[in-house]
Amino acid sequence: MIRGKTWKFGDHVDTDVIIPARYLNAPEPSELAKHCMEDIDKSFAGAVQAGDIMVGGWNFGCGSSREHAPVAIQASGISCVIAASFARIFYRNSINIGFPILECPEASEAIKAGDIVTVDTETGKITDETTGQVFEAKPFPPFIQKIVESGGLLPYLKEKQGK
C-alpha cells in the first residue's frame, strides 16, 4: 500500500520537461532526480518527499523514449504516478523498471495538489483521504503484474531463463 501527498500536473507532460535533454549526459538516478520536472516546476526537486504521489492529466510522459524520465521521477522519491492516460513508451518504461503507474481519468481530475492519497497497486483502488473520494483504476493484466512484481523486465527475463 502506498500513501503520500500529491503533486499535480496538467495534460501532455512531456519527457523534455520531466528531465530536460541537457541532463541526459549524466544518467545516474540520483543526478537525474536533482533536475526532475525542473522546466515545469522549479520547486519540485527540492521539495518532494519520499513517498509522495504524482498526478498528471492526459498523455502523461509523451515525447522521447528516454527511460531517464520514469527513472528521474522514481529517484526523486515519488512512489507512483496516477494519470488520465500515459504515452505508450513512458508506460512501457515504467513497467519495465518496476515503477507503479495507474491510469484513472476520474482520479486524475478530482485529486487536488497536496491531497493525501492512498493507492493499492494490486487492486487499483485509489483513496483521496483529504476528500474521502474513492476511485478504481484498472489493474495491470497478470502478465504485466508479473513483470512489476519481479522488479522489472530484466529480472523477469532472468527468472524465466532460470526455470
Partner 1 sequence: MGMTMTQKILAAHAGLPEVHAGDLIEAGLDIVLGNDVTTPVAIGVFEKAGFTEVFDKDRIVITLDHYTPCKDIKSAELCKTARDFAVKHNISHFYDVGTVGIEHALLPEQGIVGPGDCIIGADSHTCTYGALGAFSTGVGSTDMAAGMASGLNWFKVPPAIKVELKGKLQPFVSGKDVILHLIGEIGVDGALYKSLEFTGEGVSELSMDDRFTISNMAIEAGGKNGIFPVDEKTMEYIKGRFEREPAVFEADEDAEYERVVTIDLSELKPTVSLPHLPSNTKTAEEAAGLHIDQVVIGSCTNGRMSDMRSAASILKGKKVADGVRCIIIPATQEIYLKCIEEGILQTFVEAGCAVSAPTCGPCLGGHMGVMAAGERAVATTNRNFVGRMGHTESEVILASPAVAAASAVAGCVAVPEQEG
Q: How far is CA 40 from CA 17, 37, 138, 154, in A?
A: 6, 6, 28, 32
Q: Which stretch binds partner 1 (CB under 8 A): 47-55, 120-128, 129-137, 142-150?
A: 142-150
- Find the binder of partner 1 among 82, 87, 119, 148 (CB under 8 A): 87
27 binds partner 1 (CB under 8 A): yes
- Find the binder of partner 1 among 96, 118, 130, 133 (CB under 8 A): 96
Of 96, 107, 113, residue with least CA distance to 155: 96
Rg, the chain, Cα only: 15
- Alpha-helical runs (H) found in 35-136: 44-47, 68-75, 88-96, 105-110
Q: 95 pairs with which residues across the strands?
A: none
Residue 7 grid cell: 503533486
158 binds partner 1 (CB under 8 A): yes
Size of interface with partner 1, in residues (CB under 8 A): 41
Q: Which residues bind partner 1 (CB under 8 A)?
A: 12, 14, 16-17, 20-22, 24-27, 39-40, 58-59, 62-68, 71, 85, 87-89, 92-93, 96-97, 141, 143-144, 147, 152-155, 157-158
